[in-house]
Structure 1
Amino acid sequence: MDIRRLYAFMKIVDIGSITRASAILHIAQPALSQQIAALETHFGKPLLLRSKRGVIPTEAGKVLYRHCQMIIRQMNQAEHDIATSSEEITGAVSVVFAPLGLGSLVATQLMRTIREKHPGILLYANEAVGGGVISEQIMTGKTDIALIFDPGKIPSLSFEPISTEELHFIGTQIAEPEDGEISFAEAVSQPLILPSPIHTVRQVIETTLSRVGTSAQVVAETESISYLSNALAEGLGCTILPASAAQAVQRRVAGARSYRIRRPNMKVAMAICVSAQLPLSEAAAVVRDHLVRLATEAARSPAASGSGQG
């Protein structure tokens, strides 16, 4: 199998045109068509549907495209690792954090640690919305590591449990409870700014609402910790978050208070996610180990795991 054929196939699918791909790849169109025909002969199935408007992948083509992404990425990583092989660990590593989770506490710490201890590693850290989307990024090799709300078993993925956190109520303009805790009914009676229904935290809240037979007063939705913090600072509402994210909001918002929710309380679990099929590069393995340590330490901190006021 010629790796160049796979790269050409990816480029055609990305662009949607053999003619334009031919110009970009500097390969004559007949030769490019022959490469695709050779792939179709090899796999025994048509890979592209051709029309006057361009080309789109068949179902078999979509499967091959996903594998091409992983193969090309591994080849590029292999070439980089070989070219830069030395005693110093080098390479690019991508880490995605589920918003409103432990990432709000550990992302900056991870950047600092990697910069100080492994300057040869280029760390790309970002937030992404939706556990399913993040999982797909890991499976296709677009992302090396993720710190997400644990979705349970998913084929092709490996999860390392990190923490289980209680959800806390956070507000700036509410009467302080005498015992430092607030009931679920009291919490959802306040105007709330919550993540969207696709987010794990919102799903846990909605499940509890359904179980106790009540509803919440949701005035806005966001997964952005900065937007949420600004809204709380302006007195636009309150929110319900995991203890670690509540701590992050308190660092940003003067006067923000965090209270454990009782009767009933709610919990979410977080885990480190990597591919169960694609091996981590040396650099990615180092980053994962540091992330596991930092996330575990953050989850065990009194503010993230304890109860009562923050």
Structure 2
Amino acid sequence: MDIRRLQAFVKIIDLGSISRAADLLNIAQPALSQQLAALESAFRQKLVIRSKSGVTPTIAGSVLYRHVQILSKQFDRAMVEITQGAGPLVGKVSVGLSPYSAGSTLSVELLRRIREELPGIVLHLTESFDDIYSELVMTGRLDMAVIHGSGPMKGVSFTPLMKEEFFLLAPEALAIPHDGENTVQLADITEIPLLVPPKHNFVRKAIDMAFMRKGLEPNIVAEIEALTTLQGAIQEGIGSTILPWSVASRIAVEGQSRIYALRNPVISENVSLCIPELVPETEASVAVRERLIELARAMASSRNWPGTQAST
């Protein structure tokens, strides 16, 4: 059993093609096919299904893929710690930060702290709508992720960081019924055009659930994932959005957009740190995790984020 052969199997699954994997790995396609056949012989299981559209893993192949991700990551960490000889606090620690959540707001401060306090660690930060972070954490492709939700979920564990309320961010010129404290009732915004994340996003799920429970239908006119596009669309008066304060306050522009508190009901969601249950943590990832939890709870406890409560 060769680690390179196992890593090649992962590349085949990632690319969905033996030929593309062979090109990327600079290996002849017949040789790579032979390596795959040797793995299937060793495990006595069919690992992939070949079709005209490409290669997909079988159930056994999916199990092997998950374990190889873990083994490969541990091997890479061992190489870094042994060759650099600088103790355990070296190497790369990967952190997923869910877009449209407080996690994305923490990224710069987390990076600053790690550079100042743990200079031997290379911090890998990622924000993506397309990836399911809990799955990436479960398979070891990410060391941890800040996501909406609090579990439980098999294969990962959750540490609650905060609970954050959602606010309406609307164009300044839009006439919205509100009281003297900038508070808006959900029933009063059913007609305004809304710009929201796609359906698989936790923020969108919370928005849809709030409207559904009140028997209301939101006027969703677009699904937007890029914050810069969302900011510009609100400034242009194209629509409004519903976001946690940590995100809404980042893209609000004085004189062009305005933040309102939402009531009846209050829309809120838990933000948690997700780590794997089966992948052992390194001392480096533990150090990053501890600082991330401390930073998130400190920011949530400050008065800079209205409607946000730190978890204990």
TM-score, length basis structure 1: 0.85
- Give the SS at the match of 2:281: coil
Q: Residues 258-297 of structure 1 correspond to what in structure 2 (within 5 A)?
A: 258-297=259-298
Residue 116 to residue 41, structure 1, CA distance change in 2 (3 Å):
same
- Give the SS at the match of 2:164: strand
8 Å CA contact 1:10, 1:68 repeated in 2: yes
Aligned partner (choices 235, 251, 262) of residue 233 of structure 1 = 235
Residues in 2 aligned to 1:183 and 1:204: alpha-carbon distance in whole angstroms: 16
AA aligned opposite 2:86: S
8 Å CA contact 2:174, 2:237 repeated in 1: no
1:179 aligned partner:
181
Residues in 2 aligned to 1:208 and 1:28: alpha-carbon distance in whole angstroms: 52
Residues in 1 aligned to 2:48 and 2:196: alpha-carbon distance in whole angstroms: 43
Residues in 1 aligned to 2:188 and 2:5: alpha-carbon distance in whole angstroms: 62
Q: Does 1:100 align with 2:107?
A: no
1:244 aligned partner:
246
226-235 vs 271-280, greater mean Cα deviation: 226-235
Residues 64-103 of structure 1: CA distance to partner in whole angstroms, max 9, x if unpaired?
A: 1222222112111111121123258221121111111102
What is the alpha-carbon root mean square deviation over aligned residues? 3.0
2:197 aligned partner:
195
1:142 aligned partner:
141
Unaligned runs of 5+ in 2: none
Residues in 2 aligned to 1:15 and 1:306: alpha-carbon distance in whole angstroms: 44
Instruction: Count matched residues.
Output: 304
- Give the SS at the match of 2:142: coil
Q: Percent identity?
A: 36
Residues in 2 aligned to 1:281 and 1:117: alpha-carbon distance in whole angstroms: 17
Residue 7 to residue 221, structure 1, CA distance change in 2 (3 Å):
closer
**How much does 1:173 deviate?**
2.2
9-18 vs 177-186, greater mean Cα deviation: 9-18
**How much does 1:159 deviate?**
0.5
- Give the SS at the match of 2:305: helix
Residues in 2 aligned to 1:256 and 1:268: alpha-carbon distance in whole angstroms: 24
Residues 210-246 of structure 1: CA distance to partner in whole angstroms, max 9, x if unpaired?
A: 2222212222221322221122222222211112222
**How much does 1:22 deviate?**
9.6
**How much does 1:18 deviate?**
7.7
Residues in 2 aligned to 1:61 and 1:155: alpha-carbon distance in whole angstroms: 19
Residue 230 to residue 27, structure 1, CA distance change in 2 (3 Å):
closer
**How much does 1:194 deviate?**
1.4
1:61 aligned partner:
61
Residue 278 to residue 180, structure 1, CA distance change in 2 (3 Å):
same
Q: Does 1:169 align with 2:168?
A: yes
8 Å CA contact 1:158, 1:273 repeated in 2: yes
**How much does 1:55 deviate?**
6.3
Residues in 2 aligned to 1:216 and 1:223: alpha-carbon distance in whole angstroms: 18
Residue 38 to residue 160, structure 1, CA distance change in 2 (3 Å):
same
**How much does 1:39 deviate?**
3.2
8 Å CA contact 1:163, 1:299 repeated in 2: yes
Q: Does 1:120 align with 2:114?
A: no
Residues in 1 aligned to 2:203 and 2:46: alpha-carbon distance in whole angstroms: 43
Q: Does 1:44 align with 2:47?
A: no
Residue 31 to residue 260, structure 1, CA distance change in 2 (3 Å):
closer
Residue 216 to residue 56, structure 1, CA distance change in 2 (3 Å):
closer
**How much does 1:281 deviate?**
2.2
Residues in 1 aligned to 2:66 and 2:182: alpha-carbon distance in whole angstroms: 51
Residue 118 to residue 9, structure 1, CA distance change in 2 (3 Å):
same
**How much does 1:254 deviate?**
4.8
**How much does 1:123 deviate?**
1.3
8 Å CA contact 2:190, 2:219 repeated in 1: yes
- Give the SS at the match of 1:141: coil
- Give the SS at the match of 1:302: coil
